[in-house]
């Protein structure tokens, strides 16, 4: 499945601040209680970073979904940045302003997709490829191809961390559009998680199937723990679905969510 966004410069300045704030808030909300052994997970990540081989035009980062922390390598050789710590602010500040809103949308959709279909995804087989432009330390922009895939999964099949390997592809393309393509199991469902693809989303595709399962159980008064038992998923995953439901409905609490769902025919 492949698609693309074309930049619309006249609207970008108004979108940038809102897009970046929403994306950082989304990443913050994804932080979960540690399900596994944190030190063991970090040790696996550090060992991988020590052993990984990168071309001079490549950099990578590993996002620990539980803690929200980014582990990284190759940024200095590929982009010229000597980073002691990588945060979402780096992407806000260095991705081309014309690409930021679309980059955030695709990245947020990817994380939601990973949380929804975590148990179906296969590390280094399930992947999302995204192209965008990033500013180097000397001030010019390069075209980047980011390939993201699940990296670590716990015993229950939930993704604990995912890895993104990025390559400067300026020598083969000067494209000024954000493009993406998703591979592997469930890839046909990815676009359900996009807020927009250039056309208005119909009500029938606003919520995913699993979000609808959670919504129906919320209507009958189930708690997150009870929903987790009913659907055989973790409480953290239930809470992620609840946050996604409220974000899509643009409401602030469960009462407003249920009212929205009834008013729009979901319940």
Using CA atoms in the order 8, 10, 13, 18, what is the torsion angle rounded to 10 degrees?
Answer: -60
Task: Share the mean pLDDT of the chain.
Answer: 83
The whole-angstrom separation of Cα 251 and Cα 160 is 28
- Confirm if 106 and 100 have CB atoms less than 8 A apart: no
- Max Cα separation, the chain? 57
Q: What is the pLDDT of residue 198?
A: 35
The whole-angstrom separation of Cα 7 and Cα 131 is 13
Contacts of 120 (CB under 8 A, 6+ apart): 126, 185, 186
- Confirm if 145 and 184 have CB atoms less than 8 A apart: no
| pLDDT over 50 at 202, yes or no | no
What's the CATH number for 203-263?
Answer: 1.10.10.10
> Residue written as tokens 């595709």?
205
- Which CATH architecture fits 2-193? 2-Layer Sandwich (3.30)
The whole-angstrom separation of Cα 193 and Cα 196 is 9
Nearest CA to 213 out of 155, 261, 264, 259 is that of: 261
- What is the model's pTM? 0.64
Residue 148 β-bridge partners: 128, 164
Q: How many helices (H) and strands (E) does the chain have?
A: 9, 7
Q: What is the pLDDT of residue 176?
A: 77
The whole-angstrom separation of Cα 24 and Cα 188 is 26
CB atoms within 10 A of CB 226: 14
Q: Which of 13-27, 92-106, 114-128, 202-216 has the lowest mean pLDDT?
A: 13-27
- Confirm if 194 and 150 have CB atoms less than 8 A apart: no
Whether the domain at 2-193 and the domain at 203-263 fall into the same CATH topology: no
Give the H or E element holding residue 114: helix 100-116
Q: Would you kindly state where each structural domain of the chain is located, as residue ranges? A: 2-193, 203-263
Ranges of beta strands (E only) in 89-212 are: 127-135, 141-153, 159-168, 177-183
Q: What is the pLDDT of residue 85?
A: 93
Confidence of residue 207 (pLDDT cuts 50, 70, 90): confident
2: which DSSP letter?
E
Mean pLDDT of 87-101: 87
Q: What is the pLDDT of residue 254?
A: 85
| pLDDT over 70 at 12, yes or no | no
15 vs 143: which has the higher pLDDT:
143
């Amino acid at each position: 499945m492949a698609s693309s966004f074309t930049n619309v410069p006249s609207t970008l300045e108004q979108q940038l601040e809102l897009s970046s704030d929403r994306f950082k808030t989304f990443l913050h909300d994804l932080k979960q209680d540690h399900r596994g052994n944190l030190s063991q997970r970090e040790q696996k990540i550090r060992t991988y970073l020590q052993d990984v081989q990168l071309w001079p035009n490549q950099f990578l980062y590993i996002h620990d979904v539980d803690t929200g922390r980014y582990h990284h390598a190759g940024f200095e050789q590929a982009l010229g940045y000597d980073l002691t710590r990588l945060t979402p602010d780096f992407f806000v500040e260095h991705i081309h302003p014309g690409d930021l809103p679309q980059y955030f949308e695709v990245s947020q959709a990817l994380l939601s997709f990973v949380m929804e279909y975590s148990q179906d995804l296969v590390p280094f087989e399930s992947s999302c490829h995204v192209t965008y432009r990033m500013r180097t330390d000397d001030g010019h922009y390069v075209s980047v191809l980011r390939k993201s895939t699940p990296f670590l999964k716990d015993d229950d099949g939930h993704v604990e961390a995912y890895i993104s390997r990025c390559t400067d592809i300026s020598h083969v393309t000067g494209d000024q559009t954000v493009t993406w393509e998703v591979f592997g199991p469930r890839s046909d469902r990815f676009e359900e998680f996009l807020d927009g693809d250039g056309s208005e989303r119909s009500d029938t595709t606003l919520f995913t199937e699993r979000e609808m399962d959670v919504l129906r159980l919320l209507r009958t008064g189930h708690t997150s723990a009870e929903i987790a038992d009913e659907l055989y998923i973790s409480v953290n995953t239930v809470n992620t679905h609840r946050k996604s439901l409220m974000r899509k409905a643009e409401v602030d609490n469960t009462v407003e969510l249920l009212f929205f769902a009834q008013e729009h025919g979901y319940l």
